[in-house]
Structures are given as structure tokens and as C-alpha cells.
Amino acid sequence: MFFYVVAFFLMAGGILLVLKLSPLDLLKMTVMTERKVKLKRSIRRSIKPVRKRGIQKIIGDTRETLRINDQSSKFPRLMLISLLMSVVGILIASAMDNPFLVPVLAVSFFLLPFLFVLLTSVKSQKRMNTALETALSTITSSYLRTESIVTAVEENVEQLDPYVRPTFQRFLVQAKMISPDISALLENMKNSISNSVFHEWVDAMILCQNDRTLKSTLMPIVNKLSDIRVVSGELNTLLYEPLKDFAIMALLLLLEVPFLRSQNEEWYNILMFTPVGKLLISVDVVLLMVALIAVIRNLKPIEYRR
């Protein structure tokens, strides 16, 4: 079975070479191409949006995470890595001569890069909250003194965290060289960072452009980020407890096969070479991936809701 699978992939690679296509070119022509949606279906979707589920939701969440972090250009490369990982999963399953495991490992290995991005985005979001807390605090303090958001940003932009500095630098350049409409520039800046407290702060700052007496509302909004940091610190252990438990259980499950071989050769042969044993291994991998997806979804950072 393994050699048939290898021969298939070699043949597919040969076809791509003959056509002078790279896997990324093929991906752009198929997966990345936007399909035209009929007007009737478009209207139906606008009235009742379809909720994404399963693999489609994971890919959509990953794409949105990359967009928020201004890394949308990496998505095609991530798709290519996922497809290569899927091929590796198929090869591993075929080497084990387990037909039940082929689709399971193909899908599981395909999802691993997306799950990795979602997992690392949790840390990125926490750093973003910390960077925003410092940036908004210093800028607000300067604004209360100068009553000019352009001056306040200019005084502090070089000391801001690299996570948020480009957003304020872009605002500063636009305010000085492109448009004098500060309210419109603030509205545009709001879309560059996905954070509810930041959006509230920008809305309050826009109101302050017409009424300076509203500047007293800015600091209480900034303090919400401090509250989020305190609560996150208190709940950090509880949030990562499921991930630690999953890592332990996954390690025990992976060590089960060599342990079984060392203890009882007959049981090992039943597990690895009989249809029932192969099906059992496939079910274990499915449950492992379902648990991993559930754990990553529960690791979302704490956010302030209005």
C-alpha cells in the first residue's frame, strides 16, 4: 500500500513538472479562487448568514487571525504547508498499512498548521492587550495635557510596542501629510486593531474632537485594559490547565503502542495488524484531534464586552 501511495504522489509531481506548475500555483487556481455567488443565494446569505462549522470554521478563524495581525499574505503559504502535511499523514498511514487511518491522518495533519496559528495567536493577543494598555495610557496622558491627539501620538510613538506602533505611525503620517480630518483618520485607525476597548477609546477620542470636556471619559476606558490584565493573570492557570491535561493524555496515548509491544507481543500484533485494531487506532486519533480542537477553542484570551 505504501509504494502505491508513493507512486501516486510521484506521478502527480511529474504532471506538475510537465505543466510547469508549482503546488502554490495550483492552489491559487483552485482553493484560493473566489467563486461567483448567484444573486439569489447572496440575498439568502445576507438574510440568514450560514454559520461555519468544522474544518471550514477552523480555516476561517485562522484567516481572520492572520488578517488581524496584518499577515494575510502568509495564508497561501499556510495552505501549501497544510497540503504537504496532509501528504505526510497519508504516507505515514500507508506505511502502517492502515486504510482506516489514511483519511484520519490526512485531515489531522492538514489541520495542524491552522491549529498552531490559532494556539500562538492567544499569546499574540495577550501581548497586544499589554501593548495597547501602555500605548493608550501614555497617549491619553499626553492628550489630557495638550488636547491634541496628533501631538500626543507624536510625543509617544517612538516608545510604543512594535505590535501597535505601525498603527499610530500610519495615523501620524496621514494627519500631517494627507488629511486634516482627524475624526475620519481616527475612524480608519479603529479598523486596524481588533480590540473592543481600543474601539471604544477611538470612539471617545472622536467625540473629544468636537467637545474637549469629554476627555475625562478616556482614562476610565484605558483602565479596562488593566482590569483585563489582572483578571487574565488570575485565570491564567485555569485557562491552561486543560492544555496541560491534554498534553499528558496525548503523550500517554502515543506511548501506549511501544509499551504494549514491550509487555505483550500478541496484544501488539492484534492492535497493529488486525482490522479491529487498526480501526481502534483510527478512532483514538480522531478523539485526540477533537480534544485538541476543543482545548484550543477554550484558550481564547479574555476580552472586555460592552
Quote the cell numbers at residue 258: 511501544
Which of 235, 206, 234, 232 is closest to 218 using CA atoms? 206
User: In the predicted model, what is the mean pLDDT of residues 18-26?
Assistant: 57
Q: Is residue 196 part of a domain?
A: yes
Q: Is residue 7 part of a domain?
A: no
What is the rounded end-to-end Cα distance, in angstroms, of the chain? 57
Q: Is residue 141 part of a domain?
A: yes
pLDDT given for residue 24 in this prediction? 56
| Number of Cβ within a 10 Å radius of residue 292 | 19
* pLDDT of 284 higher than 70: yes
Is residue 126 within 8 Å of 301, Cβ to Cβ?
Answer: yes
Give me the number of domains the chain comprises: 1
pLDDT given for residue 34 in this prediction? 47
Tell me what percent of the residues of the chain surpass a pLDDT of 90: 0
Q: Is residue 287 part of a domain?
A: no
Q: Is residue 166 part of a domain?
A: yes
Q: Is residue 212 part of a domain?
A: yes
* pLDDT of 274 higher than 70: yes
pLDDT given for residue 233 in this prediction? 67
Three state DSSP letters for the chain = CHHHHHHHHHHHHHHHHHCCCCHHHHHHHCCCCCCCCCHHHHHHHHHCCCCCCHHHHHHHHHHHHHHHCCCHHHHHHHHHHHHHHHHHHHHHHHHCCCCCHHHHHHHHHHHHHHHHHHHHHHHHHHHHHHHHHHHHHHHHHHHHHHCCHHHHHHHHHHHCCCCCHHHHHHHHHHHHHCCCCHHHHHHHHHCCCCCHHHHHHHHHHHHHCCCHHHHHHHHHHHHHHHHHHHHHHHHHHHHHHHHHHHHHHHHHHHHHHHHHHHHCHHHHHHHHHCHHHHHHHHHHHHHHHHHHHHHHHCCCCCCCCC
Q: Is residue 105 part of a domain?
A: no
Out of 12-21, 68-77, 151-160, pick the least confident. 12-21
**How high does pLDDT run on average in the chain?**
77
State pLDDT tens for residues 188-240.
Answer: 888 777 778 888 888 888 888 887 787 788 888 888 877 777 776 666 667 67
Q: Give the C-alpha separation, 273 to 94, whole Å.
A: 13
* pLDDT of 28 higher than 60: no
pLDDT given for residue 32 in this prediction? 47
Q: Mean pLDDT highest for which of 5-9, 20-24, 132-136, 161-165?
A: 132-136
pLDDT band at residue 265 using 50, 70 and 90 as cut-offs: confident
What is the residue range of 141's domain?
Answer: 126-221
pLDDT given for residue 13 in this prediction? 59
* pLDDT of 173 higher than 60: yes
Structure-model confidence comparison of residues 290 and 306, the more confident one: 290
Task: Give, in order, the Cα–Cα distances in Å from 207 to each of 170, 184, 217, 254.
Answer: 21, 12, 10, 58
Q: What backbone phi and psi angles, to 5 degrees, belong to 191? A: -75, -10
pTM above the 0.75 mark? no
Q: Give the C-alpha separation, 136 to 152, whole Å.
A: 10
State pLDDT tens for residues 43-98.
Answer: 565 555 556 667 778 888 788 777 766 677 788 888 888 888 888 888 888 888 88
Q: Going by C-beta distance under 8 Å and a sequence separation of 6 or more, which residues neighbour residue 27?
A: 76, 79, 80, 83
Q: Give the C-alpha separation, 272 to 280, whole Å.
A: 9
Q: Is residue 10 part of a domain?
A: no
**HSE (side-chain half, CA atoms, 13 Å) at 134:** 15
Question: In angstroms, how far is CA 166 from the centroid of its own chain?
Answer: 21
Q: Crossing angle for the helix pair 101-146 and 149-156, nearest 10 degrees? A: 110
